[in-house]
């Protein structure tokens, strides 16, 4: 389905929980308590997928919180896979539980795994997340061994992990993985830290060659190859290079709210119509038609969203 700016909205990110087992400093507000009891159940998620498929959505990413904390996460993936119209199913995870779930996820039909990983140093990782780096690295290795497509998402933060850029790039030398650098957004606790521009990071790397459109996933990432490296390097630049003009996605929160722009205050409650597919389709279609032209990050210097990222879904 196209919005009023003729963007084809064919990609949905669905959060299945706001629970998380990490406390990332730029994501999780201090003292935050998840309200997981409001999360959509399996049949409600299926109704949403059904409605999205009817509107032309072809790509689904499951997010959280930490989606692997859902006891029925495998059933959720199976439920999406039954829709032949869905061409790509992915999940964004912090990776701490990947070793236990990777094989079952692949068997359920998962195409790709995006792992949030902001440091390769165990002490720095502990400072940023409060978690164990070894669990994440083991999970990534397991996914690679299973032949799954792996993308690593790294958010550079000045004075904390900005000296690890080349360490992350070197991960792509001998492994067919994508490492993507994401500009820190002024959203929630992220306003307390200073990120790095993608242009600054590009300046550190030699022999970057842009990939052709046929090699890109159609997402917001600018993707490059480095001469002689197996993997690829990507840049997601919502601050320095807004991609609003080509935005093809919408988000659904774990408590059933539709957000057509990450940084907008606007939300549409889908719960009252969630058991009627036609009404649900109509409600989502209304939201798509009202999708904003662009965010105001470069004007307001802060996100206008009324939710922190953990309550939206990555």
CATH assignment at residue 118:
3.20.20.70
- Known binding residue 143? Answer is no
CB 254 within 8 A of CB 15: yes
**Residue 241 in domain:** yes
| Confidence band, pLDDT 50/70/90 cuts, at residue 214 | very low
**Residue 288 in domain:** yes
- Known binding residue 27? Answer is yes
**Residue 5 in domain:** no
| Confidence band, pLDDT 50/70/90 cuts, at residue 201 | very high
Distance between CA 203 and CA 104 in Å, rounded? 40
Q: How far is CA 282 from CA 21, 74, 277, 309, in A?
A: 36, 29, 9, 26
| Confidence band, pLDDT 50/70/90 cuts, at residue 261 | confident
Domain containing 88 equals 11-311
Distance between CA 61 and CA 151 in Å, rounded? 13
Residue 300 CB contacts under 8 Å (≥ 6 apart), including other chains:
none
DSSP designation for 310? G
State pTM to two decimals. 0.92
Distance between CA 46 and CA 50 in Å, rounded? 6
Q: CB burial class (10 A; 0-12, 13-18, 19+) of residue 88?
A: middle
Q: How far is CA 199 from CA 183, 190, 239, in A?
A: 10, 20, 11
Residues 141-151 pLDDT 10s:
999 999 999 99
**Residue 6 in domain:** no
**Residue 88 in domain:** yes
**Residue 127 in domain:** yes
Domain count, the chain: 1
Distance between CA 116 and CA 161 in Å, rounded? 14
Mean pLDDT of 62-72: 95
- Known binding residue 24? Answer is yes
Give the position of tokens 């907008």.
264
**Residue 2 in domain:** no
Residues 112-171 pLDDT 10s:
999 999 999 999 999 999 999 999 999 999 999 999 999 999 999 999 999 999 999 999
**Residue 56 in domain:** yes
Residues 176-197 pLDDT 10s:
999 999 999 877 788 889 999 9
Q: What is the mean pLDDT of the chain?
A: 90
- Known binding residue 61? Answer is yes
- Known binding residue 185? Answer is yes
């Amino acid at each position: 389905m196209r919005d009023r700016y003729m963007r084809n909205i064919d990609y949905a990110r669905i959060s299945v929980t706001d629970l998380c087992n990490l406390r990332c400093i730029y994501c999780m507000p201090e003292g935050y308590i998840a309200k997981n009891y409001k999360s959509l159940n399996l049949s409600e998620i299926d109704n949403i997928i059904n409605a999205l498929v009817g509107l032309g959505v072809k790509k689904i990413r499951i997010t959280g919180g930490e989606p692997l904390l859902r006891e029925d996460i495998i059933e959720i993936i199976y439920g999406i896979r039954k829709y032949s119209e869905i061409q790509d199913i992915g999940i964004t995870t912090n990776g701490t539980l990947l070793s236990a779930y990777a094989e079952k996820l692949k068997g359920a039909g998962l195409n790709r795994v995006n792992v949030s990983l902001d440091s390769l140093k165990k002490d720095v990782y502990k400072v940023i997340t409060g978690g164990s780096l070894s669990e994440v690295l083991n999970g990534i290795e397991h996914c690679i061994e299973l032949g799954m497509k792996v993308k690593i998402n790294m958010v550079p933060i000045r004075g904390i992990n900005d000296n690890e850029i080349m360490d992350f790039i070197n991960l792509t030398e001998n492994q067919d993985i994508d490492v993507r650098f994401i500009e820190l957004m002024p959203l929630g606790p992220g306003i307390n830290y200073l990120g790095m521009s993608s242009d600054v990071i590009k300046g550190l790397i030699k022999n970057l060659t842009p990939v052709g459109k046929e090699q890109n996933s159609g997402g917001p990432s600018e993707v490059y190859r480095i001469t002689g490296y197996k993997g690829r390097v990507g840049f997601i630049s919502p601050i320095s290079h807004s991609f609003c003009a080509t935005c093809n996605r919408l988000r659904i929160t774990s408590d059933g709210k539709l957000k057509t722009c990450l940084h907008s205050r606007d939300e549409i409650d889908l719960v009252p119509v969630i058991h009627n597919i036609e009404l649900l389709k109509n409600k989502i279609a209304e939201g798509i038609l009202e999708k904003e032209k662009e965010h105001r990050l470069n004007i307001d210097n802060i996100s206008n969203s009324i939710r922190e990222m953990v309550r939206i879904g990555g």
